[in-house]
A and B are shown apart, each in its own frame.
Chain A
Amino acid sequence: MRKTFFLIAIFFLLLFVALFLFLPDSLEPQLKMKFIFKIRLPEVLAAVITGMALGFSGLALQTVLRNDLADPYVLGISGGSCLGVTLSILFFGISGSGFVFRTASSLIFGILSLFLIMKISGSSPEKLLLLGVLSNIFFATLARALTLSLKPSEITSINHFLLGFISPLSFYEILFSLVLFFILLIPLFYMGNEIDILSFSDDESKTIGVNVKKTRILTILIASVLSSLVVSIAGMIGFVGLMVPHISRFFSTNDFKKLFISSALIGPSIILFAYAFTKAVNLKVVIPIGLYINLFGALFFIYLFVRKGFSNDA
């Protein structure tokens, strides 16, 4: 209980910092509130949604795939999604491709990429992870290659997508994301017990009464939609989905529903921290938050990999 309060406190502290501190120096005092509401708030909301979605997605994938290193980025969903977003920007322009359309395209390519990788790798966790990382590189490079013909300003925006960049969302985009979010979270939370049981072998799960195939596919599907939503909001932010469940397990018992709640606080906290950090450094150029997160996340991945190897069974 005290640990949960600690998480809540951290979350609100970071929320406060991200919203109200490190404002541009040149800002006139009377414009302060306006800036916070018009610029900061939409970005901070996007950061919170991104963090939650990545955390839930990683938590769900790690449990149903029985793999502590799983996450939408590592499994190649993000890479596929990124290609999807790039294609939709390429064909319809950054403003022409609406948010909903971008999300849909991101989802289709993300899921395609994941199922392709799962098909090829079979049940081998080693192959799954290696292929996922490879496909991320492949799709991201493909996306970058496709954008070479674009104008420099458009390349910059696509580069931001490939690196992970929080940009302000419009009211409708926020509304759409929130609705989609809650439609997905309710079944995910409701399936908590089944998802927990899937940490056993399929045979054991079946004899305990879980419809293994249905639960696994539905969970992976929800995780993919969540991660596609993230890619269309903030581009390719890696490793958050990987880190959140591990940090959550430190704060609560190994119960999906409890981990779910602590993930809801930890995911946004990580993104908000990175967001506040980019504002605090206050450099001349805008640095995508994905840069910091990827750097830190890659180190975390190495740490886990050294400690645990490829999978839980190892």
Chain B
Amino acid sequence: MTLEVKNITFSFNGRKLFESTSAVFEKSKIYAIVGPNGSGKTTFLKILLSLIKPNSGSIIYEGKEIKSFSHLHKAKTFAYLPQIPCFNPEETLWEIVRRGEYPHKRIPPPPRPLSLRKEIAEKYLELENLWNRKMETLSGGEVQRGIISRIIIQDSPVMVFDEPLNHLDLRHRLKLFELFEKMKQEGKIIIYAVHDFNMSLEYDHHILVIDKKGNLKQLTGKEGEIAETLRQIYGVDFKIAKTENKFYYFPFIRKE
């Protein structure tokens, strides 16, 4: 079960974002997409979800082009957390999250019952006291956790999150990554955009950096090489820190 991106090209407002981008995402793996502001992280995710049509190239899931999928088939393949979710603030969290069940309302029935999916979301995202609250009464982080649970309810094999760590406190960031681990064990493909990738390194996610030509490069190699790649992409220097047997990278600006 793989998701394949083949030779995607895309320009926006005369600017070439992707010149010929290809990537392969495999099941039971977690991918973090990083890159500076405006490098095309969101655009890439939207192309993946066929919300934006690329100028050329194709997205292939299990050997079939996504283009040919029906709306419902797409929803049963992908679930998506946008960077800025939109909802009616007067509704309760559960009223909103429950709609993630929509693609499963028709036959065939979902692989596992709604109650089980709700339980998983509730446990990892700590939502037990939030379900019946109106959205307008929730804090930014609570809204974020709430909307993430809709993706868990939808339960699609490919889960795409655009900056899921936004507004989350440190504890809930860890909890979310634990939830990702759980989804990974269940065979999902998880793809998310993120800025601070040190926690992604901690969890051994596959880190893909978007370079100037829009290519996705896996962040691998010796720690020195990685720091150099990061320096070129972000235009700032990186300190390397080591704990046990892992390396982390912290940006800094060199004083004259």
Contacts and interface: CB of A to CB of B under 8 A. Distances in A.
A196 B95 CA distance: 10
A312 B89 contact: yes
Given A253-B95, A312-B88, A312-B89, A209 B103 contact: yes
A66 B89 CA distance: 11
B76 interface: yes
B51 A208 contact: no
Nearest to A211: B71
21 contacts: A193-B99, A196-B99, A199-B86, A199-B87, A200-B86, A203-B51, A204-B80, A204-B85, A206-B71, A206-B74, A207-B51, A207-B78, A207-B80, A208-B103, A208-B154, A209-B71, A209-B76, A209-B102, A210-B71, A253-B92, A313-B86
B209 interface: no
A4 interface: no
A200 B89 CA distance: 11
B88 A203 contact: no
Interface string A193-231: 100110111011011111100000000000000000000
B82 A209 contact: no
Interface string B56-86: 0000000000000001101110111010111
B49 interface: yes
B146 interface: no
A311 B51 CA distance: 24
A124 to B, nearest CB: 15
Interface string B40-51: 000000100101
Interface of B: 46, 49, 51, 71-72, 74-76, 78-80, 82, 84-92, 95-96, 99-100, 102-103, 105, 154
B90 A249 contact: yes
A208 B49 CA distance: 11
A209 B99 CA distance: 10
A254 B88 contact: yes
Most buried by B among A199, A209, A211, A253: A209
A104 B80 CA distance: 42
Contacts, number: 69
* Chain B interface, DSSP helix/strand/loop, else mixed: mixed
Contacts of B74: 206-207, 209
* Chain A interface, DSSP helix/strand/loop, else mixed: loop
A207 B49 contact: yes
Contacts of B79: 207
Contacts of A193: 99, 102, 105
Nearest to B95: A254
Interface in A172-212: 193, 196-197, 199-201, 203-204, 206-211
Interface string A227-251: 0000000000000000000000100
A255 interface: yes
A255 B88 CA distance: 12
Given A207-B79, A249-B90, 8 more contacts: A193-B102, A199-B86, A200-B96, A206-B51, A207-B74, A208-B99, A253-B92, A313-B86
Most buried by B among A66, A204, A207, A249: A207
Contacts of A209: 71-72, 74-76, 102-103
B72 A201 contact: no
Contacts of A196: 99
Contacts of A255: 95
A262 B209 CA distance: 52
A292 B105 CA distance: 44
Contacts of A207: 49, 51, 74-75, 78-80
A65 to B, nearest CB: 12
B165 to A, nearest CB: 19
A4 to B, nearest CB: 18
Contacts of B99: 193, 196-197, 200, 208
Contacts of B103: 208-209
A314 B89 CA distance: 10
A201 B105 CA distance: 21
A210 B99 CA distance: 11
B88 A199 contact: yes
A196 B88 CA distance: 10
Contacts of B100: 208
Nearest to A62: B88
Given A197-B99, A255-B95, A208 B75 contact: yes
A197 B75 contact: no
A203 B86 CA distance: 10
A280 B85 CA distance: 50
4 nearest CB pairs, A to B: A209-B75, A201-B86, A207-B80, A209-B103
B79 to A, nearest CB: 7
Contacts of B49: 203, 206-207
A257 to B, nearest CB: 12
